[in-house]
Amino acid sequence: MQVRVRFFASLREQVGVADREAELPAPATVRQAWAAATGDAPLPAHVLCAVNYEYVSPQEEVAEGDEVAFFPPVTGG
């Protein structure tokens, strides 16, 4: 199945890409989407994850067509 993977802020600079499609077996988790999109890079300790604009843990399952996002701790306001 295909999911869209997005990276933001310093994580985007680290990984080197803002936005890509990842091919995953079903079922698959957010953590597996990270691995597929980064060529098996280790998941950094403080990364936040979201699926379809909601915060999730790396263990969360993903479905076909989901948008998965990874980003550093937030610093707004």
Partner 1 sequence: MAVILTSEPINPWRELESMEGRILSLHGRCGARAVFVGSMRDSNEGQRVFAMELEHYPEMTRRYLHKLAESANQRWQLLESLIIHRYGRIQVDDCIVLVAVWSGQRGEAFAACRFLIEELKHRAPFWKKEQTESGPRWVERNTPAEP
Give the footprint of partner 1 on this chain (CB under 8 A).
6, 8-10, 50, 53-55, 69, 71-77
| d(C-alpha 8, C-alpha 14), whole Å | 10
What's the CA dihedral at 47, 5, 51, 58 to 10 degrees? -40
Residue with Cβ nearer partner 1 (62 or 69): 69
**Structural element, H or E, at residue 48:** strand 48-51
Rounded to the nearest whole angstrom, what is the least distance from the CB of residue 45 to partner 1 in the complex? 13
Q: Which is nearer to partner 1, 2 or 10 (CB)?
A: 10
Q: Considering the complex, what minimum distance in angstroms separates the CB of residue 75 from partner 1?
A: 4
